[in-house]
Amino acid sequence: MADAAAAAPAAARERLAAGLRELGAALSRKAQPGLAPEVQELIESWDLRCRALLDAANSAADGLPGEAAAAAAAAELLQPLLSGAFVSAHPDLFTPTVQAVKSAILLCCSTEASAYIFGPVAASLLDLFLSEQISWQIRRAAAELLVILLARRDCAAWLLAAPSAASAINTLIAAAKREGKPQQDSAFAVLAALAAADAATAERAGSPEAALLPLAVERIRSITVCRPYGSMGSCDFGPLRLLRALMSTASTVVCERAQQVPGLACAVIDLLMVLGSDEWAAMREELGVMALGQLESEILVVLAGLMASAPLNAPAYATLLSSRGALPRVLALLRSPSEQARRAASFCLAEVVGVEAGRDALFNVPRAASELAAALRRAHAEGEDPLTTQCHAACALMRLVCHSRGRRVAEALVRAAAAEGRGGSLLGALAGLIAASADDEAVAIHLRRRMCYGSVAVLNQMLLVGMTAEQLRVVRQAPRLAAACVAAMQYWADAEASDDQMCIVDQLVVTVAVLAGLEQLGRTPGAQPAAATADTAAGRAALRRAPGMEGMLRRFLMSPRPPSEDALMAAAELAAKWLLRLPEVKAAAAAALTPSAAMAAAAAAPTAAGPASAAPTAAQAQAAAAAPSAAASGRSAAAQQPQPEAGSSGGGAEGSSGCGSGASGASGIGAEPAALPRACGGCGKSAADEAPLLRCVACKAQWYCGDASSGAAVTRDAAAAADGAAAGAGPRPRFWGFSWPSFSGDKCAKAKPTLILLSGVGGSQLNATSSGSGSCPPLVNSSVLWYADHWYFDEKLPCFAQYMSLQYDPVTKRYSNASGTEVVPDDGPSPGGLIPRSSKQRLFYALLWAHLSKAHGYVPGRDLFYVPYDWRIGVQGLEQRGGLEGIARRIEGAVRRNCGQKAVVITHSYGGNVLAAMLHNPQFQEWKDANVRGWVPVGAPFGGCAATNWISQLSGDFFKLFPIIANALLPPEVTSKWHPTVVGKSLYKLAFGLPTWGWMAPRPEVLGRDHVLVSTPTRNYTVGDQRRLLLDMGDKGGAALLEDSWARSRRVLELGPVPGVETHCLYGVGIPTSATLVFNESVPQRAPIPRPYRVVDTPGDGVVDAASLRLCGRFAPKENIVEVSAPLVDHATILAHPKGLLQLSTILGRLGVPYSGGGQKLLVNLLAG
């Protein structure tokens, strides 16, 4: 492998040397009197320059300095040959020049090298393509090479940063609209490459004004109908590439616009079919494997994108399923020699089976399951990334296995696995997928959840279908399988709950038990498991090496469960009890017992040897086989199962009785654990540490020390126990790790609307764990990160900024936490009931909480809730990481807890932008209708924050977020003399690159594109220059997301009022708000600048300007808008000052929230003056 890696650069150097010799010979033949001086000088110095370039190429193997030197030498040598004048005079030299450029590119792969050659060469090629004086053949060849260059990292950004970029984009759009011209498709291709790298370009190319989308579909149709003659290149499919770029990387608005172009599905399917026809055989040969595979993959990705947007583009399904031979064609591409095409085919098929009609159609295609299994095995054997072909093939295969006639598919997979043996690629692929799903560093959690779900469901169905002893032996002895399943079971059991995730854990528990030796569920209730054998040794060893396994299984049994007609769930509980009786599980617990582990075990301590319930009935086993299909569609599995047969248990989750929670009864939850020391459920201290522990009188399972026993935790446990025993209490859904009981009877007779607070930037408490790095220590036990008061005075403040910071990947366009750090939002010491313990929340939101409690009779944790989220990552990041779904689950759980009373959501600041994006998102429409009745955006920056956020971003100064204090005590003429301190530098590092700032940046149509935001001695940055300002700061991630954030914000405002949600706006307008910042120094790269010495103000609430605040009128009628103008009512204090609270109470009254008494209303009015 190392030899092959070393041979590639050597071959590239040889090709470069040969190309330069050929080019030099051609140049020497041009030597004659009358040549331009620069050409004559180039011919005379050619040999010397070539030698310098080849010497630098030979040193490129030494690393980045060598690559940079080679790139600089190549640019100096070849750049003159790409000028318009030279190409016009010597067109015959263009082809050898292009070949030399390609060879040089292969040697210069680093970002540093690209700065020397990729940008300048790309600019020259773009000029050639746009030149009307150059032949169309050369222009087309220039476009082909330009598209290759633009795929390189930072090349497109370099090109778009040029002053002439805007006019070049307009010229490209005009060229793409010139029908019949040879360069039309090439213009589409160049636009596609630029749109894929830049949101602003994508917005322009996909806009109705450009009118390129219908034309792109027509161009695809023309290629399909008229078989091309002569040579073809990648640019001939430029229209397809533009549509693919807009659907894959552009904003939601542009993406949906592209998906809804009439006739797109039919056009791309026809093109896919034509590409495989006999008439195109010669053309396929000419394109080659790589170019053909790329083309086929782009068709499939567009098709998958159309199907993924159903029901928006449901006709795409009808077109694909009705097109004769289309599905077999996609299946055949699983065997393509191109990895790119195989990956796209598996992705497309995984989307096909997302609906019932697609599952039925694919199931009826001959050998569909065999092709998917073969693709899964081949990709594993060839070492491909599990996230690509393997993940999608497993998901598609899972749908076929769980089909109503899928038993024969599962049986065929069992036979194939047995034929391969324990080291076979099928079981190896499933083990690899399961293991990769528990790797936090791999990809986003929703992708890993999909990866685990598909592979575990396939494996589980193989086990359920019935195996011979030999077949079962092969599965149990498969390398890494048992260890992967055990690790994944622990990981997903402790992760955030969802319907899919609950089903994953259920299946993993059953699978691990079978691998460890369980033969038949419930056949010998209560019996001690048999000793380990050679077959079960791997499973037992994995359990022994899993500290915390016993506690995890006990928590699993204690978690709230829907009724037991879900046979998979019942089987999982029986399997968990069997696992608890294994000596390997007990040995692992004894070897790794810590106070925190003891606390967890004591909190959920069913008797391990308790009698097992009866085995699931045959009808339940059939329901279990269908469970994955129901859960994967996003619905609760319990809601999809058939009713139990007569005589079967339909009550508790174990089937032990018809009343109580599913974890009670025979499992012996109330019994005190004898084997494990007790620990306080509040602070984790054991009885030996301090004083004796007191047992909770309500739940009989948790223990507390004297201090904790009087706190919220005991109150919560007592309430949960009482609610669980109440008559008519329904099933308790799992919600963020807590049980949300249903209320009934008298408690619901007087229930008020549920109140929810969704805060803004900095408003949610964030907890973190970190492995530490450099001088920064590890964070263990989920330490409070934001905002713990000790950080501000701690000498480790730079570490705080490190833990809070985000890293941006320009290739995937995703953000991730700092290496080794995991940050999660937390709602404090109770589930949504109390505010976090940070100074900011104590100062402001605690006063709001007290007001709502006294004036309106609300009780935190009963009908008043705080919903946290990770405010660092922006709406885009919340979508990627499932944060919006987390907010929705919390609100839904709060509504359920409060007798189903729909919520009035009070959003503060940026929380309004987040909720607006959710309420107008089609994905959340059903949730919104069921759970939200009213919305009160308070101080929402729907048009950005003028210049306020730029003070934080440029100087690390957060004082302006507290306007009254900053305006009175910290005027600019004072703070401008302060040089950045450790605190300022740390806060600058925290703020640098936060995706949320894109939503805070003022939009051109609100403040004016030419309004000066930031003034420095060297440059004025207007509202329209903010992307340039971010790039000058070194924040490429923020610059890349800025246009997308603006486009999303515009779209939400354009959609206007939210149907079915009564909206009232509240904000302040009487506080000077920063509109222009004047600095003494220029903007440095990745370093804070001293605070501005002068600030020009505009009306607003001290943080958000009035023009932005008044955009709330897009969601609410005029009579529902309340402006508060008072000297002490600013952006932060509006929810703490009596005048602001009075207006909030008035709004709540209009939304059906009464005062708790006439005296309270009078008191509120008196306090407000």
Q: Which of 15-19, 292-296, 973-977 has the lowest mean pLDDT?
A: 973-977
Domain membership of residue 119 (yes or no) is yes
In this predicted model, which residue has the larger pLDDT, 224 or 686?
224
Q: Which of 24, 106, 121, 118 is nearest to 60 (CA)?
A: 106
pLDDT tens figures, 1066-1082: 999 988 999 999 988 89
Greatest mean pLDDT among 39-53, 513-527, 536-550, 831-845 lies in 536-550
In this predicted model, which residue has the larger pLDDT, 95 or 1060?
1060
What pLDDT is recorded for position 557?
A: 83
What pLDDT is recorded for position 746?
A: 53
Domain membership of residue 874 (yes or no) is no
Residue 850 confidence class, pLDDT cut points 50, 70, 90: confident
Residue 1100's beta-bridge partner residues?
1071, 1105
Neighbours of 706 (CB within 10 A): 12
Mean pLDDT of 311-325: 72
Residue 934 confidence class, pLDDT cut points 50, 70, 90: very high
* Domain final residue pick, 726, 742, 758: 742
798 preceded by cis ω (within 30°)? no
Residue 910 confidence class, pLDDT cut points 50, 70, 90: very high
Number of folded domains that form the chain: 2
Q: Kindly report the CA angle at 249 between 248 and 250, in degrees rounded to 5? A: 110
Domain range for 689: 677-742
| 441 has a pLDDT exceeding 80 | no
Q: Which of 840, 876, 694, 655 is nearest to 765 (CA)?
A: 840
Residue 1148 confidence class, pLDDT cut points 50, 70, 90: very high
The token pair at 470 is 């030999």
Q: Which of 54-63, 745-754, 1035-1044, 1057-1066 has the lowest mean pLDDT?
A: 54-63
What pLDDT is recorded for position 816?
A: 81
What pLDDT is recorded for position 732?
A: 29
Residue 1016 confidence class, pLDDT cut points 50, 70, 90: very high
| 580 has a pLDDT exceeding 80 | yes
DSSP 140-161: HHHHHHHHHHHTSTTHHHHHHT
Domain membership of residue 118 (yes or no) is yes
What pLDDT is recorded for position 711?
A: 35
What pLDDT is recorded for position 232?
A: 67
Q: Kindly report the CA angle at 49 between 43 and 50, in degrees rounded to 5? A: 95
Running DSSP on this structure, what letter comes out for residue 905? E
Mean pLDDT of 744-757: 77
What pLDDT is recorded for position 161?
A: 79
What pLDDT is recorded for position 635?
A: 31
Neighbours of 1025 (CB within 10 A): 18
pTM of the model: 0.53
H-type helices in 993-1110, by residue range? 997-1000, 1004-1007, 1026-1033, 1036-1055, 1106-1109
Question: 118 with 152: CB under 8 angstroms?
Answer: yes
Domain membership of residue 701 (yes or no) is yes
pLDDT tens figures, 168-211: 899 999 989 887 667 888 899 899 989 888 888 888 999 999 99
What pLDDT is recorded for position 118?
A: 66
pLDDT tens figures, 942-968: 999 988 888 878 876 655 555 555 555
Looking only at the bridges linking them, the beta strands covering 1012-1015 and 1071-1078 are parallel
What pLDDT is recorded for position 962?
A: 56
CA distance 209 to 177: 12
pLDDT tens figures, 1098-1129: 999 989 999 999 999 999 999 999 999 988 88
CB crowding 497-507: b at 16 or more within 10 Å, else e? bbbbbbbbbbb
Q: For the sheet containing 821-826, what is the strand order?
A: 779-786, 765-770, 821-826
Q: Which of 9-13, 77-81, 316-320 has the lowest mean pLDDT?
A: 9-13
Distance of CA 1029 to the CA centre of its chain: 27
Q: Kindly report the CA angle at 905 between 904 and 906, in degrees rounded to 5? A: 120
Question: 549 with 494: CB under 8 angstroms?
Answer: no
Running DSSP on this structure, what letter comes out for residue 307? H
Distances from the Cα of 701 to the Cα of 88, 696, 820, angstroms? 86, 7, 35
Residue 785 confidence class, pLDDT cut points 50, 70, 90: confident
Domain membership of residue 671 (yes or no) is no
Domain membership of residue 121 (yes or no) is yes
What pLDDT is recorded for position 1023?
A: 92
Main-chain dihedrals φ then ψ at residue 533, nearest 5 degrees: -120, 180
What pLDDT is recorded for position 252?
A: 80
CA distance 884 to 877: 9
CA distance 1102 to 964: 7
* Domain final residue pick, 714, 742, 770: 742
Domain membership of residue 153 (yes or no) is yes
* Domain final residue pick, 693, 726, 742: 742
Q: Which of 401, 396, 400 is nearest to 375 (CA)?
A: 396
pLDDT tens figures, 985-995: 666 776 777 78
Question: 146 with 103: CB under 8 angstroms?
Answer: no
Local structure of 1082: helix, strand or coil:
coil
In this predicted model, which residue has the larger pLDDT, 210 or 809?
210
Looking only at the bridges linking them, the beta strands covering 754-758 and 903-908 are parallel
In this predicted model, which residue has the larger pLDDT, 2 or 322?
322
Element (H, E) at 217: helix 213-225
Residue 770 confidence class, pLDDT cut points 50, 70, 90: confident
CA distance 981 to 957: 10
Q: What is the maximum span of the chain, computed from C-alpha positions, in angstroms?
A: 106
Greatest mean pLDDT among 210-224, 872-886, 1110-1124 lies in 1110-1124
Greatest mean pLDDT among 140-149, 348-357, 470-479 lies in 470-479
Question: 556 with 597: CB under 8 angstroms?
Answer: no
In this predicted model, which residue has the larger pLDDT, 1156 or 692?
1156
Rg (CA), the chain: 32
Residue 1169 confidence class, pLDDT cut points 50, 70, 90: low
| 856 has a pLDDT exceeding 80 | yes
Distances from the Cα of 457 to the Cα of 333, 396, 416, 625, 725, angstroms? 25, 11, 17, 9, 35
Residue 888 confidence class, pLDDT cut points 50, 70, 90: very high
Residue 136 confidence class, pLDDT cut points 50, 70, 90: confident
Mean pLDDT of 558-568: 60
Instruction: Give the chain's length.
Output: 1169
H-type helices in 477-519, by residue range? 481-494, 499-515
CA distance 60 to 104: 11
SS3 for 582-638 is CHHHHHHHHHCCCHHHHHHHHHCCCCCCCCCCCCCCHHHHHHHHHHHHHHHCCCCHH
Mean residue pLDDT across the chain: 76
| 645 has a pLDDT exceeding 50 | no
Crossing angle, helix 445-464 and helix 407-420, to 10 degrees? 90
DSSP 75-115: HHHHGGGGSHHHHHH-GGGHHHHHHHHHHHHHH--SHHHHH
Domain membership of residue 1051 (yes or no) is no
Mean pLDDT of 572-596: 75
User: What number of CA atoms fall less than 13 Å from residue 365's CA on the CB side?
Assistant: 25
